[in-house]
Structure 1
């Protein structure tokens, strides 16, 4: 993990604050000052948020766990982040692909960024906050039995409905990427 410069940090915090304040329906009753305090105490999490932002995710707070005092940030870009598209599901799938390999996989990228792919439940929760992935799709965490058989799951929103699909884990498309989550 790389460090971000003080200037990049300040710019990131300004972007996150503006997004937070412009989208209060995603986190009613939350106060930015508390979120910012948690962020400043965890530099590695700030780096991960910087990577989410850099790749087009537009992360924002969508939840809070009162028992653990943890905020949940999720990619809230209208479509799956541009900097994370045209990728297969995981490293195993990437290795199995012999021709026309994508540059990376969703699981590799998420791990390198210090984030996790959304679960199907988290993806459905995000969709309650707006209309996301109406032209794209996003890989989601796939249950081990499905992955063991070579498949992987992805989701999108069409016809005002959230759909969950399956595909071979090695497949990739220009409009499929992944959305991540980060606990802070």
Structure 2
């Protein structure tokens, strides 16, 4: 069975963006050391345009072959003129407002997202599924998340978009598996769900 990994950037106080979902304040922390980690360990989590700019357009996918994201997260790519922002992955977008896909590589899921993710997890593949965001999609899939990779940025937001928007209160235990720290103050923690 494949795993669903919620790999996400957040502030020290657990927000993935400001109240409108903007997280561009975190971009200034993409220094050489941290970017080398991201491109080396998670090259598939960099957009196709970013991969070209960084000279890693042909880098193989190391951990994931599929990305799941919500409409708000996907809209960022659309607004930037990228209807298939992660063209090197199979792209799944949860949306009740998009009726047709703007790109052949993008599958729109308007119905039961949990069921679709369970189908994806049941597929045979050595690579996993990356839950990219946003908050509501993560909240809907909270019980399906097998692994968390939390990139904590040294910033306080005070309020904003939570990691799991709209999820009901329920305690789920995870085990810390790895911690990486960087000179820019970013800490990347990896957790596996305790079953």
Per the TM superposition, whether the score is higher than 0.5 is: no
What TM-score do you get using the length of structure 1 for normalisation? Answer: 0.29
| Higher-RCO chain (CA-CA 8 Å, sequence separation at least 6) | 2
What TM-score do you get using the length of structure 2 for normalisation? Answer: 0.28
